[in-house]
Amino acid sequence: MLLTNLVTDKHLRELIKQARIGLNKRHFTQSAELTLILKDIDVKKGFSLNEIVSLPHKSNDESAICLIGSGDLAMRARKVGIETILEPQELDRLGTNKREARKLVRKHDFFLSDTSLMSSVGRSIGQFLGPKGKMPTPLPYGAPLESIVNRFQGSIRLRIKNQLSVSAKVGDENMDDSSLASNALAVVSALEKKLPQGEKNIRSAVFKFTMSGPAKMGALKGEPAG
């Protein structure tokens, strides 16, 4: 079953509409965030999730990507717009600087790495990437970098570890309600497929912009609540 009876496109549009009420313009573009509250899952028994979801509509605030590599791969990465290129010598240096390594991991949503450097990544900064679920996607020689980067730029990470909720940035305030709802529904659908009982494990949903109040969906009837 792909769509939940609780969180439908109609419900999401109503939540987005409510979240926009009283939303004042700021000096920055506000992000839009969907939070799904879960139920009937024993997280103490080891249930976890680290899923990458490709959103149908890109926002202006694309996911930040770091590429680990050198030579031709690094050159191609710069051409497709990757700003952070981590070359082997820099990788070794980060392995001895925990503060910088943690900062790098926090700053980037996704990591890509030359396949030949994966073992070096594990030794140097794997201890910081692993707990965040951000170990790099390996890139074999000749990989179609442009299409891979394009996919990751329009993707988000769903991560559940020891909690009964999951939040995801699904766009920004400049996107129309239809696009935001479509992105949010993609998150719901992806999550359902990974939960033990699918839609039955979703209790409710909350939608908000960075500076807006939360628009909450009632847990029993699936009706939006202020």
What ranges do the domains of the chain cover?
Answer: 9-60+156-225, 65-152
User: 9-60+156-225 has which fold?
Assistant: Ribulose 1,5 Bisphosphate Carboxylase/Oxygenase (3.30.190)
User: Can you give the pLDDT at residue 6?
Assistant: 67
User: 65-152 has which fold?
Assistant: Rossmann fold (3.40.50)
Instruction: Indicate the burial class of 22 (C-beta count within 10 angstroms; 0-12, 13-18, 19 or more).
Output: exposed
Number of C-beta neighbours around residue 3 at 10 A = 13
102: confidence class by pLDDT, cuts 50, 70, 90: very high
Phi/psi class of residue 22: alpha, beta or left (left: φ > 0; alpha: ψ in -120 to 50)?
A: left
User: Which range, of 42-56, 111-125, 181-195, averages the lowest pLDDT?
Assistant: 42-56
- Give the pair of three-digit tokens for residue 82: 């990757």
Question: One fold for both 9-60+156-225 and 65-152?
Answer: no
Q: Is the pLDDT of residue 80 over 80?
A: yes
For residue 184, the SS3 value is: helix
Dump pLDDT digits (tens) for 166-199.
999 999 999 999 999 999 999 999 999 999 999 8
- In whole angstroms, give the CA distance from residue 141 to residue 129: 23
225: confidence class by pLDDT, cuts 50, 70, 90: very low
Number of C-beta neighbours around residue 44 at 10 A = 7
Q: Is the pLDDT of residue 207 over 70?
A: yes
Instruction: Indicate the burial class of 118 (C-beta count within 10 angstroms; 0-12, 13-18, 19 or more).
Output: middle
Q: What pTM did the predictor assign?
A: 0.83
- Give the pair of three-digit tokens for residue 131: 């707990």
Q: Is the pLDDT of residue 47 over 90?
A: no
